[in-house]
Protein backbone atom coordinates (compact mmCIF):
# COMPACT_ATOMS: atom_id res chain seq x y z
CA UNK A 1 0.00 0.00 0.00
CA UNK A 2 1.26 3.50 -0.85
CA UNK A 3 1.12 6.44 1.55
CA UNK A 4 -2.19 8.24 2.13
CA UNK A 5 -2.58 11.94 1.31
CA UNK A 6 -4.71 13.79 3.86
CA UNK A 7 -5.31 17.26 5.29
CA UNK A 8 -4.61 17.95 8.93
CA UNK A 9 -2.84 20.06 11.53
CA UNK A 10 0.88 20.06 12.34
CA UNK A 11 2.72 21.83 15.10
CA UNK A 12 6.26 23.18 14.55
CA UNK A 13 6.49 25.37 17.68
CA UNK A 14 4.83 25.55 21.09
CA UNK A 15 2.53 28.50 21.73
CA UNK A 16 -1.05 29.73 21.34
CA UNK A 17 -3.71 28.27 19.03
CA UNK A 18 -2.09 30.10 16.09
CA UNK A 19 0.84 27.63 16.03
CA UNK A 20 -1.51 24.95 14.65
CA UNK A 21 -0.82 24.80 10.92
CA UNK A 22 -3.33 23.28 8.51
CA UNK A 23 -2.00 21.57 5.40
CA UNK A 24 -1.32 18.44 3.39
CA UNK A 25 0.15 15.44 5.24
CA UNK A 26 1.34 12.13 3.79
CA UNK A 27 0.75 9.20 6.13
CA UNK A 28 2.91 6.13 5.45
CA UNK A 29 1.22 2.75 5.04
CA UNK A 30 0.47 1.17 8.45
CA UNK A 31 3.32 -1.04 9.67
CA UNK A 32 3.47 -3.69 12.40
CA UNK A 33 0.78 -2.95 15.02
CA UNK A 34 -0.42 0.28 13.35
CA UNK A 35 -3.97 0.86 12.15
CA UNK A 36 -4.95 3.55 9.65
CA UNK A 37 -8.21 5.08 10.90
CA UNK A 38 -10.22 7.37 8.60
CA UNK A 39 -11.61 9.88 11.11
CA UNK A 40 -15.27 10.87 11.05
CA UNK A 41 -15.09 12.86 14.28
CA UNK A 42 -12.22 14.07 16.46
CA UNK A 43 -12.34 14.86 20.18
CA UNK A 44 -10.84 18.05 21.60
CA UNK A 45 -9.31 17.68 25.06
CA UNK A 46 -7.49 19.91 27.50
CA UNK A 47 -4.44 17.67 27.11
CA UNK A 48 -4.18 19.00 23.53
CA UNK A 49 -3.59 22.44 25.04
CA UNK A 50 -0.91 21.10 27.41
CA UNK A 51 0.79 19.49 24.37
CA UNK A 52 0.46 22.65 22.29
CA UNK A 53 1.91 24.84 25.04
CA UNK A 54 4.66 22.39 25.96
CA UNK A 55 3.47 21.72 29.55
CA UNK A 56 3.46 18.03 28.62
CA UNK A 57 6.68 17.34 26.67
CA UNK A 58 6.31 16.50 22.98
CA UNK A 59 8.94 16.27 20.24
CA UNK A 60 8.35 18.76 17.40
CA UNK A 61 7.26 18.86 14.66
CA UNK A 62 4.24 16.79 15.59
CA UNK A 63 0.57 16.28 14.95
CA UNK A 64 -1.90 17.22 17.68
CA UNK A 65 -4.96 15.52 19.19
CA UNK A 66 -5.26 12.16 20.93
CA UNK A 67 -8.87 11.11 20.32
CA UNK A 68 -10.95 10.22 17.29
CA UNK A 69 -13.54 7.88 15.88
CA UNK A 70 -14.06 6.53 12.39
CA UNK A 71 -13.51 3.56 10.17
CA UNK A 72 -10.45 1.33 9.77
CA UNK A 73 -8.95 1.78 6.32
CA UNK A 74 -5.90 -0.51 6.53
CA UNK A 75 -3.91 -2.43 9.15
CA UNK A 76 -0.25 -3.35 9.67
CA UNK A 77 0.97 -6.92 9.19
CA UNK A 78 0.81 -7.77 12.94
CA UNK A 79 -2.76 -6.56 13.52
CA UNK A 80 -5.25 -9.41 13.73
CA UNK A 81 -8.01 -7.89 15.90
CA UNK A 82 -9.13 -5.12 13.49
CA UNK A 83 -9.73 -5.06 9.76
CA UNK A 84 -10.77 -2.61 7.06
CA UNK A 85 -14.34 -1.42 7.53
CA UNK A 86 -14.46 -1.79 11.35
CA UNK A 87 -16.05 1.14 13.18
CA UNK A 88 -13.64 2.15 15.94
CA UNK A 89 -12.63 4.89 18.36
CA UNK A 90 -9.25 5.56 19.90
CA UNK A 91 -7.61 7.76 22.51
CA UNK A 92 -4.32 8.39 24.32
CA UNK A 93 -2.49 7.67 21.08
CA UNK A 94 0.52 9.41 19.56
CA UNK A 95 -0.69 13.01 18.93
CA UNK A 96 -2.06 13.57 15.40
CA UNK A 97 -5.82 13.03 15.59
CA UNK A 98 -6.58 16.57 14.32
CA UNK A 99 -6.53 15.26 10.75
CA UNK A 100 -8.68 13.44 8.21
CA UNK A 101 -6.98 10.15 9.15
CA UNK A 102 -4.51 8.96 11.78
CA UNK A 103 -2.10 6.06 12.24
CA UNK A 104 -2.88 4.57 15.65
CA UNK A 105 -1.32 1.68 17.54
CA UNK A 106 -3.88 -1.14 17.79
CA UNK A 107 -3.54 -1.14 21.59
CA UNK A 108 -5.21 2.31 21.76
CA UNK A 109 -8.31 1.32 19.76
CA UNK A 110 -11.72 0.02 20.80
CA UNK A 111 -14.42 -1.37 18.54
CA UNK A 112 -17.60 0.70 18.68
CA UNK A 113 -20.85 -0.93 19.78
CA UNK A 114 -23.57 -0.53 17.08
CA UNK A 115 -25.52 1.87 19.29
CA UNK A 116 -22.69 4.42 19.53
CA UNK A 117 -22.13 6.69 16.54
CA UNK A 118 -18.72 8.15 15.74
CA UNK A 119 -19.57 11.68 16.84
CA UNK A 120 -20.72 10.49 20.27
CA UNK A 121 -17.64 8.28 20.56
CA UNK A 122 -15.29 11.17 19.83
CA UNK A 123 -17.15 13.21 22.44
CA UNK A 124 -17.15 10.60 25.14
CA UNK A 125 -14.30 8.07 24.91
CA UNK A 126 -11.32 9.83 26.49
CA UNK A 127 -13.41 11.85 28.92
CA UNK A 128 -15.64 8.91 29.79
CA UNK A 129 -12.68 6.60 30.45
CA UNK A 130 -11.36 9.33 32.72
CA UNK A 131 -14.66 9.50 34.59
CA UNK A 132 -14.60 5.70 34.76
CA UNK A 133 -11.21 5.44 36.45
CA UNK A 134 -11.88 8.42 38.74
CA UNK A 135 -15.07 6.82 40.04
CA UNK A 136 -13.90 3.17 40.07
CA UNK A 137 -10.14 3.08 40.63
CA UNK A 138 -9.56 5.72 43.36
CA UNK A 139 -11.22 5.76 46.80
CA UNK A 140 -13.86 3.04 47.21
CA UNK A 141 -17.10 5.04 46.98
CA UNK A 142 -20.50 4.09 48.38
CA UNK A 143 -23.96 5.48 47.75
CA UNK A 144 -24.43 8.49 49.99
CA UNK A 145 -20.77 9.53 49.92
CA UNK A 146 -20.22 13.18 48.99
CA UNK A 147 -17.68 14.14 46.34
CA UNK A 148 -16.50 17.52 45.08
CA UNK A 149 -16.30 17.95 41.29
CA UNK A 150 -14.50 20.99 39.90
CA UNK A 151 -15.29 22.25 36.36
CA UNK A 152 -18.47 20.20 36.68
CA UNK A 153 -20.10 21.55 33.50
CA UNK A 154 -17.02 20.68 31.40
CA UNK A 155 -16.40 17.67 29.21
CA UNK A 156 -15.18 15.32 31.93
CA UNK A 157 -17.26 17.17 34.53
CA UNK A 158 -20.70 16.48 33.07
CA UNK A 159 -19.88 12.80 32.60
CA UNK A 160 -18.70 12.63 36.22
CA UNK A 161 -21.91 14.25 37.45
CA UNK A 162 -24.14 11.86 35.49
CA UNK A 163 -22.24 8.76 36.47
CA UNK A 164 -21.78 9.73 40.13
CA UNK A 165 -25.48 10.53 40.47
CA UNK A 166 -26.28 7.09 39.03
CA UNK A 167 -24.06 5.57 41.73
CA UNK A 168 -26.02 7.42 44.40
CA UNK A 169 -23.22 9.81 45.32
CA UNK A 170 -23.89 13.34 46.49
CA UNK A 171 -22.12 15.58 43.98
CA UNK A 172 -21.06 19.07 44.98
CA UNK A 173 -20.24 20.80 41.71
CA UNK A 174 -18.00 23.85 41.33
CA UNK A 175 -18.45 26.04 38.25
CA UNK A 176 -17.79 29.63 37.17
CA UNK A 177 -21.24 30.82 36.04
CA UNK A 178 -24.93 30.38 36.85
CA UNK A 179 -25.50 28.90 33.38
CA UNK A 180 -22.85 26.25 34.07
CA UNK A 181 -24.40 25.60 37.51
CA UNK A 182 -27.70 24.82 35.77
CA UNK A 183 -25.90 22.44 33.38
CA UNK A 184 -24.13 20.68 36.26
CA UNK A 185 -27.43 20.24 38.11
CA UNK A 186 -29.11 18.92 34.95
CA UNK A 187 -26.25 16.43 34.65
CA UNK A 188 -26.98 15.16 38.15
CA UNK A 189 -25.09 17.37 40.59
CA UNK A 190 -26.85 17.63 43.95
CA UNK A 191 -25.45 21.10 44.68
CA UNK A 192 -23.64 23.62 42.48
CA UNK A 193 -21.36 26.28 43.88
CA UNK A 194 -20.62 29.21 41.60
CA UNK A 195 -17.28 30.92 42.09
CA UNK A 196 -13.61 30.47 42.75
CA UNK A 197 -11.69 28.93 45.64
CA UNK A 198 -12.46 31.71 48.18
CA UNK A 199 -14.87 30.42 50.77
CA UNK A 200 -15.32 27.14 48.90
CA UNK A 201 -14.28 24.88 51.78
CA UNK A 202 -16.72 26.64 54.14
CA UNK A 203 -19.56 26.14 51.67
CA UNK A 204 -18.65 22.48 51.25
CA UNK A 205 -18.60 21.98 55.03
CA UNK A 206 -21.99 23.68 55.30
CA UNK A 207 -23.43 21.28 52.69
CA UNK A 208 -21.98 18.20 54.39
CA UNK A 209 -22.97 18.81 58.01
CA UNK A 210 -19.43 19.98 58.79
CA UNK A 211 -17.87 16.69 57.65
CA UNK A 212 -16.34 17.58 54.28
CA UNK A 213 -16.30 15.34 51.21
CA UNK A 214 -14.91 11.83 50.81
CA UNK A 215 -13.14 12.72 47.55
CA UNK A 216 -12.22 15.95 45.74
CA UNK A 217 -11.89 15.53 41.97
CA UNK A 218 -9.82 18.55 41.03
CA UNK A 219 -8.98 19.18 37.37
CA UNK A 220 -8.34 22.90 37.84
CA UNK A 221 -5.05 22.57 39.74
CA UNK A 222 -3.06 25.66 40.70
CA UNK A 223 -5.94 27.88 41.77
CA UNK A 224 -7.98 25.27 43.65
CA UNK A 225 -5.66 22.72 45.29
CA UNK A 226 -5.78 24.31 48.75
CA UNK A 227 -9.56 24.75 48.74
CA UNK A 228 -9.87 21.12 47.69
CA UNK A 229 -7.67 19.90 50.55
CA UNK A 230 -9.65 22.04 53.00
CA UNK A 231 -12.94 20.58 51.72
CA UNK A 232 -12.07 16.97 52.53
CA UNK A 233 -13.37 14.80 55.33
CA UNK A 234 -10.90 13.02 57.60
CA UNK A 235 -9.01 10.41 55.52
CA UNK A 236 -10.50 11.87 52.36
CA UNK A 237 -8.94 11.60 48.90
CA UNK A 238 -7.50 14.59 47.06
CA UNK A 239 -7.42 13.51 43.40
CA UNK A 240 -5.59 16.15 41.38
CA UNK A 241 -6.05 15.09 37.77
CA UNK A 242 -5.67 18.24 35.67
CA UNK A 243 -4.01 21.63 35.32
CA UNK A 244 -6.60 23.87 33.66
CA UNK A 245 -5.39 26.85 35.75
CA UNK A 246 -1.75 25.65 35.87
CA UNK A 247 0.10 22.82 37.62
CA UNK A 248 -0.24 22.28 41.38
CA UNK A 249 2.84 23.40 43.38
CA UNK A 250 4.67 20.97 45.66
CA UNK A 251 2.58 20.00 48.71
CA UNK A 252 4.34 18.95 51.92
CA UNK A 253 3.15 15.58 53.31
CA UNK A 254 2.49 17.23 56.68
CA UNK A 255 -0.26 19.32 55.01
CA UNK A 256 -2.08 16.04 54.40
CA UNK A 257 -1.65 14.84 57.98
CA UNK A 258 -2.70 18.23 59.43
CA UNK A 259 -6.01 18.09 57.56
CA UNK A 260 -6.92 14.57 58.69
CA UNK A 261 -4.60 11.91 57.23
CA UNK A 262 -5.60 12.66 53.66
CA UNK A 263 -4.66 10.61 50.60
CA UNK A 264 -3.30 12.53 47.62
CA UNK A 265 -2.89 11.10 44.14
CA UNK A 266 -2.08 12.56 40.73
CA UNK A 267 -3.44 10.02 38.22
CA UNK A 268 -3.22 10.03 34.42
CA UNK A 269 -5.52 8.02 32.16
CA UNK A 270 -2.56 6.44 30.34
CA UNK A 271 -1.76 4.39 33.45
CA UNK A 272 -5.31 3.03 33.65
CA UNK A 273 -5.53 1.89 30.01
CA UNK A 274 -1.92 0.73 29.51
CA UNK A 275 -2.86 -2.86 28.66
CA UNK A 276 -5.64 -4.28 26.46
CA UNK A 277 -7.24 -5.77 29.61
CA UNK A 278 -7.30 -2.38 31.36
CA UNK A 279 -8.67 -0.59 28.29
CA UNK A 280 -11.35 -3.26 27.80
CA UNK A 281 -12.30 -3.10 31.49
CA UNK A 282 -12.81 0.68 31.57
CA UNK A 283 -14.38 0.93 28.12
CA UNK A 284 -16.71 -1.93 29.12
CA UNK A 285 -17.85 0.08 32.15
CA UNK A 286 -18.32 3.14 29.94
CA UNK A 287 -20.20 1.39 27.13
CA UNK A 288 -22.46 -0.23 29.76
CA UNK A 289 -23.62 3.07 31.26
CA UNK A 290 -23.92 4.61 27.78
CA UNK A 291 -25.97 1.60 26.65
CA UNK A 292 -28.28 1.92 29.66
CA UNK A 293 -28.67 5.63 28.95
CA UNK A 294 -27.61 6.62 32.48
CA UNK A 295 -24.63 8.48 31.04
CA UNK A 296 -25.16 10.44 27.83
CA UNK A 297 -22.48 12.04 25.68
CA UNK A 298 -22.73 15.74 26.49
CA UNK A 299 -21.50 17.40 23.31
CA UNK A 300 -21.60 21.15 23.80
CA UNK A 301 -19.84 22.32 20.65
CA UNK A 302 -19.37 20.97 17.13
CA UNK A 303 -16.98 22.65 14.71
CA UNK A 304 -15.46 21.65 11.37
CA UNK A 305 -12.02 20.00 11.70
CA UNK A 306 -10.28 23.02 10.16
CA UNK A 307 -11.53 25.14 13.09
CA UNK A 308 -9.57 23.22 15.73
CA UNK A 309 -7.61 26.35 16.76
CA UNK A 310 -10.89 28.17 17.51
CA UNK A 311 -12.14 25.13 19.46
CA UNK A 312 -9.01 25.23 21.60
CA UNK A 313 -9.30 28.98 22.11
CA UNK A 314 -12.86 28.62 23.42
CA UNK A 315 -11.95 25.66 25.66
CA UNK A 316 -9.08 27.56 27.23
CA UNK A 317 -11.19 30.71 27.66
CA UNK A 318 -13.77 28.73 29.71
CA UNK A 319 -16.41 29.50 27.09
CA UNK A 320 -17.44 25.87 26.55
CA UNK A 321 -19.42 23.29 28.44
CA UNK A 322 -19.64 19.58 27.70
CA UNK A 323 -17.38 17.99 25.08
CA UNK A 324 -16.09 19.56 21.87
CA UNK A 325 -16.15 17.50 18.69
CA UNK A 326 -14.51 18.36 15.37
CA UNK A 327 -16.47 17.13 12.36
CA UNK A 328 -14.44 15.59 9.57
P1 LIG B 1 -13.29 21.10 30.35
O2 LIG B 1 -14.42 21.04 29.41
O3 LIG B 1 -13.53 20.67 31.76
O4 LIG B 1 -12.72 22.57 30.33
C5 LIG B 1 -11.94 23.06 31.36
C6 LIG B 1 -12.80 23.79 32.43
O7 LIG B 1 -11.95 24.06 33.53
C8 LIG B 1 -13.31 25.14 31.99
O9 LIG B 1 -14.51 25.10 31.25
C10 LIG B 1 -13.49 25.83 33.32
O11 LIG B 1 -14.76 25.56 33.88
C12 LIG B 1 -12.44 25.18 34.22
N13 LIG B 1 -11.36 26.10 34.54
C14 LIG B 1 -11.08 26.57 35.76
N15 LIG B 1 -10.04 27.40 35.74
C16 LIG B 1 -9.65 27.49 34.46
C17 LIG B 1 -8.62 28.22 33.81
N18 LIG B 1 -7.79 29.04 34.48
N19 LIG B 1 -8.49 28.09 32.47
C20 LIG B 1 -9.32 27.27 31.79
N21 LIG B 1 -10.31 26.55 32.37
C22 LIG B 1 -10.48 26.66 33.70
O23 LIG B 1 -12.06 20.29 29.74
P24 LIG B 1 -11.87 18.70 29.55
O25 LIG B 1 -13.14 18.02 29.85
O26 LIG B 1 -11.17 18.44 28.28
O27 LIG B 1 -10.82 18.36 30.69
C28 LIG B 1 -11.14 18.63 32.04
C29 LIG B 1 -9.93 18.48 32.90
O30 LIG B 1 -9.66 17.11 33.08
C31 LIG B 1 -8.66 19.13 32.35
O32 LIG B 1 -7.97 19.73 33.44
C33 LIG B 1 -7.88 17.94 31.85
O34 LIG B 1 -6.51 18.15 31.87
C35 LIG B 1 -8.29 16.88 32.84
N36 LIG B 1 -8.14 15.53 32.32
C37 LIG B 1 -7.25 14.71 32.94
C38 LIG B 1 -7.08 13.42 32.52
C39 LIG B 1 -6.15 12.54 33.25
O40 LIG B 1 -5.91 11.42 32.80
N41 LIG B 1 -5.57 12.96 34.36
C42 LIG B 1 -7.79 12.89 31.36
C43 LIG B 1 -8.75 13.82 30.79
C44 LIG B 1 -8.89 15.10 31.26
P45 LIG B 1 -15.47 26.72 34.78
O46 LIG B 1 -15.68 27.85 33.82
O47 LIG B 1 -16.73 26.11 35.28
O48 LIG B 1 -14.49 27.03 35.87
Split the chain (328 residues) into runs of 10 and give each run's mean pLDDT: 92 98 98 98 98 96 98 98 98 98 98 97 98 97 98 98 98 98 98 96 98 98 98 98 97 98 98 98 98 97 98 98 98
Residue nearest to atom 2 of ligand 1 (CA): 154
Name which residue sits closest to atom 1 of ligand 1, judged by CA: 154
How much of the chain is helix, strand and coil, in % rounded to 5?
Answer: 35, 30, 40
Give nearest CA residue, ligand 1 atom 39: 268
Distance 87 CA to ligand 1 centre (A): 29
CB of 314 sitting under 6 A from ligand 1: no
The confidence score (pLDDT) of residue 2 equals 80
What gap in Å lies between CA 160 and CA 172, rounded to an integer?
A: 11
Q: Is 241 in the pocket of ligand 1 (CB under 6 A)?
A: yes
Give the number of other CB atoms < 10 A from CB of residue 280: 13
CATH class of 138-266: alpha beta
Q: Is the CB of 208 under 6 A from ligand 1?
A: no
Burial of 307 (0-12, 13-18, 19+ CB in 10 A): middle
CA distance 289 to 294: 5
Per DSSP (E only), the strands in 151-275 are 170-175, 191-194, 213-218, 232-240, 263-265
Q: Can you give the pLDDT at residue 159?
A: 98
pTM: 0.98
In short, whether 88's Cβ falls inside 6 Å of ligand 1 is no
Which atom of ligand 1 is nearest to 126's Cα? 43
Q: How do 170-175 and 146-150 pair as beta strands?
A: parallel
Residues 6+ apart with CB under 8 A from 90: 37, 67, 68, 69, 97, 102, 104, 108, 109, 110, 125
- Do the domains 138-266 and 4-127+273-327 match in fold? no
What is the predicted pLDDT for the residue at 266?
98
> Is the distance from the beta carbon of residue 219 to the nearest atom of ligand 1 less than 6 Å?
yes
Q: Is 39 in the pocket of ligand 1 (CB under 6 A)?
A: no
Fold that domain 4-127+273-327 belongs to in CATH: Quinone Oxidoreductase; Chain A, domain 1 (3.90.180)
What letter does residue 99 receive in the DSSP assignment? Answer: B
Q: In this predicted structure, what is the pLDDT of residue 1?
A: 66
Determine the atom of ligand 1 nearest the C-alpha atom of 155. 25
Distance CA 7, CA 23 (A): 5
Q: Does ligand 1 lie within 6 Å of residue 193's CB atom?
A: no
DSSP 8-state code for residue 55: S
Tell me what pLDDT residue 305 has: 98
- With a CB cutoff of 8 Å and minimum separation 6, the contacts of 221 are 240, 242, 243, 244, 245, 246, 247, 248
- According to the model, what pLDDT value does residue 256 have? 98
Among left, alpha and beta (phi > 0; psi -120 to 50; other), residue 65 is: left
Residue of the CA atom closest to atom 47 of ligand 1: 175
Q: If we measure between CA atoms, which residue out of 253, 317, 324, 312 comes closest to residue 50?
A: 312
Kindly list the domain boundaries of the chain, sorted by start residue.
4-127+273-327, 138-266
DSSP count for the chain of H helices, then E strands: 9, 15
Q: Is any ligand 1 atom within 6 A of the Cβ of residue 268?
A: yes
Cβ–Cβ < 8 Å for 148, 189 = no
Separation of alpha carbons 304 and 41, rounded Å = 9
User: Is 157 touching ligand 1 by the criterion CB < 6 Å?
Assistant: yes
Amino acid sequence: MKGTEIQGFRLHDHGGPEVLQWGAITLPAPAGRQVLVRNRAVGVNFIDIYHREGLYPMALPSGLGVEGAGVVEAVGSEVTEFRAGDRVAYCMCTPGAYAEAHLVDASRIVRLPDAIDEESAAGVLLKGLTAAFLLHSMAPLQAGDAILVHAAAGGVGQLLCQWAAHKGLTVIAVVSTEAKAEQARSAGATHAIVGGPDGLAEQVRALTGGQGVRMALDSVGASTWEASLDSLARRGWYVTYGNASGPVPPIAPLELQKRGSLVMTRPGLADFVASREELDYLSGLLFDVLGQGVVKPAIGLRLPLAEAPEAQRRLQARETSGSIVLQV
